[in-house]
A = this chain, B = another copy of it.
Amino acid sequence: MTGTRPFKHALDRLQQAGLRPTRQRLALARLLFDKVDRHITAEQLHAEAVDAEVQVSLATVYNTLHQFTDAGLLREVVVEAGRSYFDTNTSDHHHFFFEGNGNLQDIPGESVTVAHFPAAPAGTRVARVDVIIRLAPEEA
């Protein structure tokens, strides 16, 4: 019976995160996690939900994306002013960013070495290291 596994998968994620499995969260989790990894904005996800005839407000999409992020199910990626991407790939990795079209592409964590940087200042710890390789169209 096709169609139940995706629900199961999304349900597992919510339980793992300690979040109540509401209709909206289940639907958003399915949209987010039942496909290949991706980088999506709140508005894009809301549009996808509307498109899939899931009734959910934009406020709830924002709330849910932040809850998922806090729970470690998503990662927020900021590369441009006034636009936040939410990344379904939560493994240690980095990004190519195409300045032309705003696309993001993953770079596996193992394939970048960040070495020699100074120790974190006293009273702080390194929460994350982000490497963004900004790409421009090749000149003619």
Q: Which residues of A contact B (CB under 8 A)?
A: 76, 78-84, 94, 96, 98-99, 105, 107, 111-118, 120-121, 123-139
Complex alpha-carbon distance, A29 and B54, angstroms: 51
Task: Tell me if A132 and B129 are in contact (CB < 8 A).
Answer: yes
Question: Which chain B positions have C-beta within 8 A of A84?
Answer: 81
Q: A125-B135, A135-B120, A139-B125 in contact; A113/B115 too (CB < 8 A)?
A: yes
CB < 8 Å neighbour of A133 from B79, B81, B82, B120? B120
Q: Nearest-CB distance from A105 to chain B (Å)?
A: 8
Complex alpha-carbon distance, A28 and B126, angstroms: 35
Number of copies: 2
Complex alpha-carbon distance, A91 and B81, angstroms: 21
Task: Tell me if B134 and A128 are in contact (CB < 8 A).
Answer: yes
Q: A107-B118, A114-B112, A115-B115 in contact; A124/B135 too (CB < 8 A)?
A: yes
Q: A112-B115, A130-B133 are in contact. List 16 more A-B contacts (CB 8 A).
A: A78-B81, A96-B120, A99-B127, A107-B118, A111-B118, A115-B115, A120-B133, A120-B135, A124-B135, A125-B136, A125-B137, A125-B138, A125-B139, A126-B135, A130-B131, A130-B134
Task: Tell me if A121 and B135 are in contact (CB < 8 A).
Answer: yes
Question: Which chain B positions have C-beta within 8 A of A116?
Answer: 111-113
